[in-house]
Structure formats: C-alpha cells, structure tokens
Amino acid sequence: DGMTFSQAALAEPIAVCWHAVKLGRRAIEGGAKALVIGGGAIGLGSALSLTAQGTTDVVIAEPNEARRDYLKAVCQQEAVAPESLGDACDFDIVVDAVGYDATRASASAQVRPGGVILHIGLGHGNAGFDIRRITLQEITVIGTYAYTMLDFHETVAAMIDGRLGDLNWSEERGLSDGEKAFADIRSGLVKAPKVILNPSL
C-alpha cells in the first residue's frame, strides 16, 4: 500500500542486491567503503542496499555519462567514470553488477587486500579475475544470484520505511515497446537504471 506500480516492481531486483550485500558484509564483518561497478538496476540496487545496511562510503562506476548524471541528480548517488578510479585498491567491498571480463578485471584491481568481491552480473566471458592477487592477498570472491524469502521481506520492509530512498528511478513503457527498450538500453540511450514494461500503457 502506498507504492506506485513502478516502485513496487523494484522489490524483486533490489532483493537480489539486498541478498548479495548481506553476504558481502557478513564475509568482511561490515565494510565501510564500497565500489559498485555498473549503474543499472542491480548496480543502483546494490548501492542503495549497501547504504541501508550500514556501508557509509559507496561509489558507483558507470561509463555512460548520461546515466552518471541521472544517478547523481535523481538518485543522489556518487557516480564516477570508471577511468577516474585510478589504482587505489582500497575498497572493502566491490560489487560487479555487470559481469564482463573487463568489469571482473576492474573488481580485481579495485578491491583492497582481504576485501570482498561480489559477482552478481551475468554479462559474458569467463576471464578477468586476477587469480594471483586474489590468492596472495586473500580476497574473497562470492558469486551471488537471486535471494531468499527472508531477503525479499527485508527488502520490502526497507522500501516501506524509506531506507532505500524514494524509488522513483525507473522509466515506464508499454509492453509493446519491450524490444525497443532493450535496444535503447544496449545503445546507451536510457538514463534511468530500470525500464518497467507496463501492460496498461
């Protein structure tokens, strides 16, 4: 009650993120500084979940300038170009919300020794992880997908009490516009992190 169709529809993707963040924070006993690679729905959901669960310093690395601007202006997130990160290697938790060879390489490079990489993205490829560094510096890698019913209930509770923000960061389109929506996302033309297809439009 009290949520719009578009807001309520975000419960499922955010629950994926909520579950991942719980696993990561448990593995590192909290974690005060996090990097999220990718500013789509899973990336933004991860950033919001990290903040809601107590991570105080969260940065989103997003290559699309228009989406970065949207994340800053509409979602009040710190969003940066991936190339601006440098080689600090000081993030307690790194979330790969994309899942490409290049983003796995970036996650491997940016996590601090003893830190945690959460691999949620299901892009493509199998390369990218710096296995030597992961081994020598005791970096934990967690593959994470979906959620439990408890995670889902906790996510909805956090949505209702405002811990995940106002949730007005989706774009609604009609169901018949689905194919074009995917094409626009792939082409970098969609600023909003999530497109919701509404059959009533």
Q: If 0-12 CB within 10 Å is exposed, 13-18 middle and 19+ buried, where does residue 23 land?
A: middle
- Please report how the helices 149-160 and 41-52 are oriented relative to each other, as an axis angle in degrees rounded to 10: 80
Quick one: pLDDT at residue 180? 97
- pLDDT per position as a tens digit, 119-177: 999 999 999 999 999 999 999 999 999 999 999 999 999 999 999 999 999 999 999 99
In the numeric block, the tokens 């199998």 are attached to: 126
Structure-block tokens of residue 195: 């497109």
Q: Report d(CA 29, CA 165) in Å as an integer.
A: 24
Is the pTM above the cut of 0.75? yes
Write the pLDDT tens digit of every residue in 88-98: 789 999 999 99
